[in-house]
Structure 1
Amino acid sequence: MSKVSMTVNGKAVSGDVKGNTLLVEFLREDLRLTGTHVGCDTSQCGACTIHVNGKSAKACTMFAAEADGADITTVEGMANADGSLSVIQQAFQDHHGLQCGFCTPGMVMTAAALLKENPKPTEAEVRHYLEGNICRCTGYHNIVKAIMAASGQDVSAIAAE
């Protein structure tokens, strides 16, 4: 066992972990932040996407010990200070960018990383950026629309596919 300390969603946290404890396990089981989902355990689906020191990372392929000292943001940390939905979360709700919701936390975190890098992405750029995230329910159309709406773009002309 080793002690890890990090900042998660603005709060200092610490805990004892085994060397093989994945970051997603530490977040979900030790910290009870269950918004980060475990889908594939192989970095293929993107459901476990979080931000580590401001960059997107898949928590299912990172050991908790690797995050020692890091600044972590999970989907729970995306809400506004008053608890209301962030612009991205609200856009997902407004534009029906979810169905079962399993992929949604990873999609929201990926969208936030994209919009930080590229505040006004094209539809093609959004689709390319989402390649590491799998949604089994939708055709991605409303997810793309939600991300573009969150960027402040007019999405009224985007038709359903």
Structure 2
Amino acid sequence: MELTVNGHAQPLSAIASDPAMPLLWVLRDGLNLTGTKYGCGIGACGACTVHVDGVAARSCVTPLAAVQGKAVTTIEGLAPGGHPHAVQLAWLTEQVPQCGYCQSGMLMAAAALLARNPRPSDADIDAAITNLCRCGTYPRVRAAIQLAARQLPAPWPPALSPHRIADTTAGADGAQPA
């Protein structure tokens, strides 16, 4: 069995042989990627959030078998090449962390949200970021995600209006130019 973590193939034969083992323990104990935290063990708190094929997933309840052949990204892989991700910079600007325990999971959930919805509303953020923060920094988390969204390049192509777009090449009578 092999696992791709942060862009690198990881043979798991010496690390984990049980396909039911939670991904969290493979990452932390087997691969020494300790940025992903253990919080609850039941997928409720989000401290263990990683990306599986770009989608936020709670690694404490994700069995190893479920990620076979998929790309896993941890907080250690969020900023490849040493260039911080927009959410990491926004977290610092908005002074989000207090105790910091939930932050890696929050950052991973925020990055996944922005990857699928580059211009989220506050309601979108509240629906997507279900991680628990015992310090209660939720308003700063929301502000940081909005800041990161503004700093990311605009999505292309831009979203089109559901209304009919006029053909600007046609003449006033609707005829196409020759």
**Which bracket does the TM-score occupy, shorter chain normalised?**
0.7 to 0.9
Ranges in structure 1 where 5+ consecutive residues have no aligned partner: 154-161
Asked if residue 98 in structure 1 is aligned to residue 97 in structure 2, the reply is yes
How many angstroms does 1:22 deviate by? 1.1
Aligned to 2:88: 89
Stretch deviating more after TM superposition (132-141 or 42-51): 132-141
Aligned to 2:12: 15
Could you tell me whether the CA contact under 8 Å between 2:114 and 2:120 is conserved in 1? yes
Task: Detail structure 1 runs of 4+ shifted over 3 Å in the superposition.
Answer: none
CA RMSD in angstroms comes to: 1.3
How many angstroms does 1:75 deviate by? 0.7
Deviations 1:49-68 (A, max 9, x none): 11111211110001123222
Aligned to 1:145: 143
Structure 1 residue identity aligned to 2:104: P
Could you tell me whether the CA contact under 8 Å between 1:48 and 1:59 is conserved in 2? yes
Structure having the higher strand fraction is 1
Deviations 1:83-119 (A, max 9, x none): 1321111110111111111111111111011111111
- If the length of structure 2 is used for normalisation, what is the TM-score? 0.79
Aligned to 1:5: 2
Aligned to 1:136: 134
How many angstroms does 1:80 deviate by? 3.7
Q: How does 1:10-159 map to 2 (within 5 A)?
A: 10-16=7-13, 17-19=16-18, 20-81=20-81, 83-130=82-129, 132-152=130-150
Could you tell me whether the CA contact under 8 Å between 2:97 and 2:137 is conserved in 1? no
Could you tell me whether the CA contact under 8 Å between 1:98 and 1:138 is conserved in 2? no
What percentage of aligned pairs have identical amino acids?
41
Query: Rg bigger for which structure?
Result: 2
Ranges in structure 2 where 5+ consecutive residues have no aligned partner: 152-178
Aligned partners of 2:28 and 2:36: how far apart in 1? 7
Q: How many residues align?
A: 148
Deviations 1:7-57 (A, max 9, x none): 110111111314242100000011010011010000100011111112111
Structure 2 residue identity aligned to 1:8: V
Find the residue that maps to 1:152 and give its secondary structure: helix
Could you tell me whether the CA contact under 8 Å between 2:3 and 2:12 is conserved in 1? no
Find the residue that maps to 1:126 and give its secondary structure: helix
- If the length of structure 1 is used for normalisation, what is the TM-score? 0.87
